[in-house]
């Protein structure tokens, strides 16, 4: 009786263990040992590498993609797995490293040179800086009545040369006898004066008197010819094209040919003549105009010309925006 009672507890314990292993643990605790016995009994092949799960192996066999470290030697060539054979396509993540990057570089044109807008290696660039009055000792100022004002009130009359006259235009700039000759009563033309003298800088301020003549296009074309001829006469000089100084909003609104809209249109074209090699565009207007876009009323006595004490603003602007080194003094005028 005692033996039957002992077997009863043993059988009950075994039954509980079998239920636990079957339902809860699913025999995982003996999975490794059972797998080894199975392989030994069936004369199984080589054992799998440690750490590689059955799930990883199944995914590789089904062609659902290669896990890291399991790619074929030539991924994406259709050599391994059903997808490569049937469709000739490589699953995502199996393409050669860097292929996409190289393709984007070729198509987009990026990465093949210097960044857009920057000079190429070795290419010279202009150097700007602030200067003192002696910077203008080898400069000539050419222009109309605005430049006459610079000569009279800018404090440069004994430093720089001035070829300026009230009423001067781009159409008569080389023909009008406006340049005084020391020791002589007669005057010579700008053409003759530039043939007799050499300058390193040329400051050109002209265009207000041409507002009622021709179109923006004809004015710009003539201005381009003037700059080209200045280069012929002074091939070593850098040329500063100065934007036409605006008038006051009141003067602009009078309804005649002198208006700021026309000045802005011409200045936009003049700026295009600069090549930033030997020809540079400067515009003092932002420093002498108010929120209306016109010259500050208190800066002028007639709505067109700067008062004597405000010429200094213009002069200081030129001093603070001087080219110290020009890349190619003999560059042609850009279109």
pTM for this prediction: 0.63
Chain-centroid distance of CA 147 in Å reads 35
Domain ranges of the chain: 127-325
Least confident piece of the model among 69-78, 152-161, 245-254: 69-78
Instruction: Please say if the pLDDT value at position 114 is more than 80.
Output: no
The whole-chain average pLDDT of the chain stands at: 76
The pLDDT confidence band at residue 246, using thresholds 50, 70 and 90, is very high
For residue 193, what pLDDT is reported? 97
Instruction: Please say if the pLDDT value at position 173 is more than 90.
Output: yes
Instruction: Please say if the pLDDT value at position 48 is more than 50.
Output: no
d(CA 55, CA 221): 79
Query: Would you say 260 and 247 are in contact if contact means Cβ atoms under 8 Å apart?
Result: yes
Q: What stretches of 22-105 adopt beta strand conformation (E)?
A: none
Smallest CA-to-CA distance from 269 within 215, 307, 321 is with: 215
For residue 327, what pLDDT is reported? 80
* Alpha-carbon separation of residue 335 from 84, 221, 231, 279, 286 (angstroms): 58, 9, 15, 12, 25
The secondary structure of residue 289, as a DSSP letter, is B
Taking residues 188-199, report their average pLDDT. 97
For residue 28, what pLDDT is reported? 53
d(CA 163, CA 144): 9
The label of the residue with tokens 């609104």 reads 253
In three-state secondary structure terms, 23 is helix
For residue 12, what pLDDT is reported? 73
Report residue 82 as tokens. Answer: 């059903």
Q: What is the DSSP string of 54-69?
A: HHHHHHHHHTS-PPTT
Smallest CA-to-CA distance from 150 within 267, 313, 280 is with: 313
Instruction: Please say if the pLDDT value at position 135 is more than 50.
Output: yes
The pLDDT confidence band at residue 21, using thresholds 50, 70 and 90, is low
Least confident piece of the model among 50-59, 119-128, 268-277, 290-299: 50-59
For residue 263, what pLDDT is reported? 98
For residue 3, what pLDDT is reported? 59
Query: Would you say 245 and 208 are in contact if contact means Cβ atoms under 8 Å apart?
Result: yes
In three-state secondary structure terms, 114 is coil
Instruction: Please say if the pLDDT value at position 223 is more than 70.
Output: yes
d(CA 295, CA 290): 6
Share of the chain above pLDDT 90, in %: 57
Taking residues 236-258, report their average pLDDT. 96
The label of the residue with tokens 């002028």 reads 300
Instruction: Please say if the pLDDT value at position 318 is more than 60.
Output: yes
Instruction: Please say if the pLDDT value at position 10 is more than 90.
Output: no
For residue 325, what pLDDT is reported? 87
Instruction: Please say if the pLDDT value at position 30 is more than 70.
Output: no
Q: What stretches of the chain adopt beta strand conformation (E)?
A: 127-129, 139-143, 161-164, 177-180, 187-189, 201-205, 238-242, 279-282, 322-325
For residue 68, what pLDDT is reported? 37
d(CA 130, CA 322): 6
Taking residues 11-38, report their average pLDDT. 58
Residues in the chain: 335
CATH (residue range 127-325) = 3.40.50.1110
For residue 27, what pLDDT is reported? 55
Taking residues 253-282, report their average pLDDT. 96
d(CA 145, CA 267): 18
For residue 326, what pLDDT is reported? 79
Query: Would you say 181 and 197 are in contact if contact means Cβ atoms under 8 Å apart?
Result: no
**Residue 37: phi, psi to the nearest 5?**
-65, -40
The pLDDT confidence band at residue 115, using thresholds 50, 70 and 90, is very low
Smallest CA-to-CA distance from 318 within 139, 117, 54, 118 is with: 139
Smallest CA-to-CA distance from 204 within 215, 188, 184, 190 is with: 190
The pLDDT confidence band at residue 112, using thresholds 50, 70 and 90, is very low
Taking residues 157-165, report their average pLDDT. 98
């Amino acid at each position: 009786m005692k033996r039957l009672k002992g077997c009863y507890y043993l059988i009950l314990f075994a039954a509980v263990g079998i239920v636990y292993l079957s339902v809860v643990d699913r025999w995982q605790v003996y999975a490794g040992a059972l797998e080894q016995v199975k392989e030994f009994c069936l004369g199984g092949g080589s054992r799998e590498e440690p750490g590689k799960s059955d799930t990883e192996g199944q995914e590789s066999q089904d062609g659902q993609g290669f896990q890291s470290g399991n790619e074929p030697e030539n991924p994406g060539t259709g050599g391994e797995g059903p997808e490569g054979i049937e469709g000739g396509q490589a699953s995502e993540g199996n393409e050669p490293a860097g292929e996409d990057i190289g393709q984007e570089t070729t198509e987009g044109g990026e990465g093949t040179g210097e960044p857009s807008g920057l000079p190429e290696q070795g290419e010279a660039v202009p150097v700007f800086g602030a200067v003192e009055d002696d910077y203008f000792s080898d400069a000539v100022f050419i222009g109309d009545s605005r430049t006459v004002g610079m000569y009279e009130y800018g404090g440069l009359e004994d430093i720089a040369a001035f070829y300026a006259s009230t009423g001067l235009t781009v159409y008569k700039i080389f023909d009008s006898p406006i340049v005084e000759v020391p020791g002589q009563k007669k005057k010579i033309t700008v053409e003759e004066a530039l043939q007799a003298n050499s300058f390193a800088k040329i400051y050109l301020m002209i265009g207000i008197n041409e507002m009622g003549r021709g179109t923006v296009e004809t004015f710009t074309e003539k201005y381009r010819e003037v700059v080209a001829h200045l280069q012929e006469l002074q091939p070593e000089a850098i040329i500063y094209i100065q934007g036409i100084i605006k008038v006051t909003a009141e003067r602009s609104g009078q309804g005649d040919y002198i208006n700021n809209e026309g000045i802005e249109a011409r200045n936009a074209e003049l700026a295009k003549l600069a090549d930033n090699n030997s020809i540079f565009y400067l515009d003092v207007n932002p420093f002498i105009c108010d929120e209306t876009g016109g010259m500050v009323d208190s800066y002028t006595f007639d709505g067109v010309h700067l008062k004597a004490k405000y010429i200094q603003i213009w002069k200081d602007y030129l001093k603070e925006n001087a080219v110290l080194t020009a890349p190619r003094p003999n560059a042609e005028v850009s279109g």
